Amino acid sequence: MEFIWGIPGIQFIGAYLVGCPFVFKGHPFGAICNTTMMRMLIAAGADPHQVQKIEGFGKGIETLVSDQRVAVVSVTGSDETAAHMQRLRGLRPVKFEGGGSNWSYVDEGFNDDDLKKIAVRLVYAKLGFSSHKCTGLHGIAASPSTMAKLLPLLSREMDEWKVANPTDTPADVTKVVGPCMVHKAKTAQDIQDQAMKAGVTVFRKGGRVTGSDYADHAEVIAPIILSGVKPDTTVTVDWDGKGEKVVNLMATEFFMPILVTSEMQTFDDFLKYSLTQNPHDLAVSIWTRSDKNLSKARRVLAGMLKENDGTDSALEWEEFGASGIGTSGNMGVGDPEGTFAIYSRRQKGRHVVF
């Protein structure tokens, strides 16, 4: 369920089917796709009076968010974006999903060939779509012995990815790290530099890329792997030129190619971290052959649980959303009833006394 077309399509079709006129503002880098989706909706018979589309970035269109005539705002994006929208709207509803520092746990019991396959899948979850997915992988946890085997495999797989302009790359080159679409490259560089000063091991050194016409005119970041990170590890960086920000390396959402890894002695330690310290619960993946651990995960973890898969998979038809009690959102999309509920109110009816 990809957020350029999949999630928007589900949302605006849900709004239309319940009779809710809407204004669609798609991803600013997906203008052609946004226009195509609206044309397809109208071609399918939708009333043009109920369908509107605008383009632009946040600052340019945020007056629409606070407009008194807008009954519901629904957004897929970062938790910071949703919080800003809620401040603009006051008590009026903002339906939100998407914020996530999504983690994967790799259990004991996998041989070297298994770990190679896991590394390939998890690197894709990190670097795919230029690390610009709300279900993209943030970090990997494993025991010290498993992590020692996994880290070189992760770095080796990242070697297969080319840092390049995706619009000027041959069609048969599919592993491409494109430009960062949310953050400044300097922010990633600062995180890497400050993490090193904080005692974190930079297992794979990357950061800001310069020296070519493309890199000098875009926010280009080579992949980074940080290892030995603890739940309380923080760094202070200039956050995208907006001033200093204290960043918890394990729990701050990164839309950039920085992979965080942490050694945890047991699966229960990972569960405890997920429940008590990670504010996000959008997606989590568990790699294990243990029925006991899978059973625990199914009963305890909130949001979308991916079993022996990356955090970003959505090949199956599923409701896309978090628990609703953390900072990863307060709704789900994909399930028909859940989607319709965004744009309509459920009335319990009236009691009739005979």
- 30 pLDDT band, cuts 50/70/90, is confident
- Give start-end residues of each CATH 3.40.605.10 domain in the chain: 6-98+329-342
Residue 278: strand, helix, or coil: coil
- 59 pLDDT band, cuts 50/70/90, is confident
* pLDDT at residue 337, as a whole number: 84
- CATH homologous superfamily, domain 102-307: Aldehyde Dehydrogenase; Chain A, domain 2 (3.40.309.10)
CA distance 152 to 274: 25
Over the Cα atoms of the chain, what is R_g? 21
112-116, 124-128, 143-147, 327-331, range with the lowest pLDDT: 327-331
In CATH terms, the fold of domain 6-98+329-342 is: Aldehyde Dehydrogenase; Chain A, domain 1 (3.40.605)
Res 332 pLDDT > 50: yes
CA 198 to centroid of chain Cα atoms: 26
Beta-carbon contacts of residue 11 (< 8 Å; ≥ 6 apart): 74, 76, 333, 339, 342
What is the number of residues in the chain?
A: 354
- 352 pLDDT band, cuts 50/70/90, is low
Beta-carbon contacts of residue 194 (< 8 Å; ≥ 6 apart): 235, 236, 237
* pLDDT at residue 183, as a whole number: 93
Share of the chain above pLDDT 90, in %: 70
The answer to whether the beta carbons of residues 229 and 200 sit under 8 Å apart is yes
Sheet with 102-106, side-by-side order of all strands: 201-204, 224-227, 258-263, 137-142, 102-106, 283-287, 304-307
Question: For residue 119, what are its two tokens?
Answer: 């590394």
Res 40 pLDDT > 70: yes
Residue whose pair of structure tokens reads 């875009």 in the numeric block: 218
The answer to whether the beta carbons of residues 284 and 271 sit under 8 Å apart is no
* pLDDT at residue 245, as a whole number: 96
pLDDT digits (tens, 9 = 90+) for 79-94: 888 889 999 999 998 9
- 1 pLDDT band, cuts 50/70/90, is very low
* pLDDT at residue 198, as a whole number: 96
Question: For residue 195, what are its two tokens?
Answer: 């993490």
Res 225 pLDDT > 90: yes
The answer to whether the beta carbons of residues 149 and 114 sit under 8 Å apart is no
